[in-house]
Structure 1
Amino acid sequence: MLNKPFEHFQIGESWISRGRTVTESDIVNFAGVSGDFFPLHTDSEYAKNTIFKQRIAHGLLVLSIGTGLLEMAPGTVAAFYGIEKLRFIKPVFIGDTIHLKLTVTDLKDKGNGTGVVTFQQEIIKQTGEIAVIAEYKFLMNKKERE
């Protein structure tokens, strides 16, 4: 989806990514990298006594995996511009397969050879449930730079 210049995006267009299964190794590695060893993610005995009844993936891990599902082309993406309205709606468990849905909701020409594309992002589980929702913004290069 992020493989074309700014002026080729249209409000309302959507894109769906391939799937990716979340593994125990993902959770353990993310805990190690982030330093977030909260027991809901890393302690199965603790997690059994929560509303989830099992360990869940870190919300930021799920968000990061979603980012990895984006198709980005060097030269078209100038920079990641930000996240707004981020919500973690449903838990993602070990073994869940998630995919990403992006829908263009806004286009702002920056007038400097770039423009900001705003997407409604949904990270969706194999059950069809939305796990994460956010507004993503990317600074995209134009085909012809000013």
Structure 2
Amino acid sequence: MTYFEEYVLGSTRRSHGRTVTETDIVWHAGQTGDFFPHHMDAEFAKSLPGGQRMAHGTLILSMAVGMLAGEINEEAMSYGYDRVRFIRPAHIGDTITSRSKIVSLRDHTKRPADFGIAEEQVEVVNQRDEVVIAFVHIYLVNRRPGSFS
């Protein structure tokens, strides 16, 4: 378990790679109801700048978060996401990797004796090391009991 006091500003992580499949896109469309032709219509997508169907931005966001969730930290939970940017599309066959860095550690404003806030800058890159999505993942993290002074 990792308490707030154990987080290190500037520490980094990198996930394994994961290849985006047509099945991923179809399942995500079914779960979200987003059947826009950009994602589902191969003929329409030929007219797009990339010339092919693109994965939903929210699919790649979800995949990225999951790829970094390699272990359960019972002392932390996701508190939200800020500054989400879909920078370039990911396509069927692209392999994405998530990389992250702790960029901010601060006290919780209302309950500083109980919680800290950790912000992790995440970039998702494709196999060409081009950034596809960037966002800040915010964590609410328990403080070690008796550590706050």
Matches within 5 A, 1:1-146: 4-70=2-68, 71-77=70-76, 79-110=77-108, 111-144=112-145
8 Å CA contact retained: 1:114, 1:145: no
8 Å CA contact retained: 2:55, 2:92: yes
- Equivalents in 1 of 2:16, 2:2: separation in Å? 19
8 Å CA contact retained: 1:41, 1:56: yes
Larger deviation: 68-77 or 40-49? 68-77
8 Å CA contact retained: 1:98, 1:123: yes
Q: CA deviation at 1:138?
A: 0.8
- Equivalents in 1 of 2:95, 2:21: separation in Å? 9
Matched positions, count: 143
* TM superposition score normalised by structure 1: 0.91
8 Å CA contact retained: 2:17, 2:97: yes
- Equivalents in 2 of 1:145, 1:73: separation in Å? 23
Deviations 1:5-34 (A, max 9, x none): 211111111111111111100000000000
Q: CA deviation at 1:99?
A: 1.0
Question: Aligned residues: percent identity?
Answer: 38
- Equivalents in 2 of 1:136, 1:114: separation in Å? 16
Q: CA deviation at 1:39?
A: 0.3
Letter aligned with residue 51 of structure 2: K
Larger deviation: 109-118 or 57-66? 109-118
Q: CA deviation at 1:141?
A: 1.9
- Equivalents in 2 of 1:95, 1:6: separation in Å? 38
**Distance change >3 Å, CA 48–CA 145, structure 1 → 2:** farther
